[in-house]
Chains A and B, each alone.
Chain A
Amino acid sequence: MATLGDYLIVSGILFTIGFAGTMLRRNIIIILMSLELMFNAANLSLVAFSRFHTGTNGLPNYNAQVFVFFIITVAAAEVAVGLAIVVALYRARQTTHIEDIANLKF
């Protein structure tokens, strides 16, 4: 059976992949996808700790899973708003490349 450390390492590597994607890619849609990867890495370590802190009643600590539920809801709302902003930008500028949208004021 895998240990807690294995899950934490996988979560850390997944977060790093998401972080590298945010830093290196220049397409705004791919940057949003990398943000989702980072959210999911955080969720994985939360669920791993939830399972690790099994209480005296022999059940996982469900507080962390409720927290993950909230994170997933907020992430879905964030994606909806983010993609709406991308659509508005694309209609104004016809590009999704972030170096073409470098001006703060239009």
Chain B
Amino acid sequence: MQLILFWAFALLTLVFGGGVVINRNPVASALNLVVSFLGLAALFMLLDAFFIGVIQVLIYAGAVMVLFLFIIMLFNLRAEKLRRINWPAAAGGIAVAIAFLSQVFYVVGRFKPAQQRFPPLTGSKIDDVHNIGRLLFDSYNLPFQIIGVLVLVASIGVIVLSTRQLR
């Protein structure tokens, strides 16, 4: 059952991820991206990472995608016109992508632990929000506060960028 679910959600993620790249209309790309993110959240939950799955839905499928759709609507973008394709650049991009993919297959094929199944979770209380929260505030307290400053800087930067007029 879990194997069927894994392949179903993996296929969903990959097909709609491909749709992001293939679609010519930016709105269709953004909606494909939402479905791809939802499939990925389901994959996280199959890996017993419920907290990560939930924040994936909340932040990516919620906040980030609304931002993308908002910008697309603001610009009133339509399907882009087909321009002359820069063939050497396109061929180079495809060649590097294929080389990367074959390298991934080679490395994963030779990686011995990759054939093993996941060990069963035997912990008495699998409470991952609790455990991640403890780890975040105990061991990763300083990085957590630095992330807070980063988000503050990003929001100030966005305000500065959107008020200043670029010539």
Contacts and interface: CB of A to CB of B under 8 A. Distances in A.
Interface of A: 1-10, 12-21, 23-27, 29-30, 32-34, 36-37, 40, 43-44, 47-48, 50-52, 54, 57-60, 62-63, 65-66, 68-70, 72-81, 83-92, 96-97, 99, 106
Interface string B114-125: 111111111110
Given A72-B56, A77-B154, A3 B116 contact: yes
Given A8-B108, A68-B52, A89-B166, A83 B68 contact: yes
Interface in B49-70: 49, 51-52, 55-56, 59-60, 63-64, 67-68
Secondary structure type dominating chain B contacts: helix
Contacts of B17: 14, 17-18, 37
Nearest to A86: B71
Interface residues of B, number: 89
A52 B166 contact: no
Contacts of B48: 51, 60
Interface of B: 2-3, 6-7, 10, 13-14, 17-18, 20-21, 26, 29-30, 33, 36-37, 40, 43-44, 46-49, 51-52, 55-56, 59-60, 63-64, 67-68, 71-72, 74-75, 77, 80, 83, 89-90, 92-94, 96-97, 100-101, 104-105, 108-109, 111, 113-124, 126, 128, 131-132, 135-136, 139-140, 143, 147, 150-151, 154-155, 157-158, 161-162, 164-167
A54 B100 CA distance: 29
A30 B13 contact: no
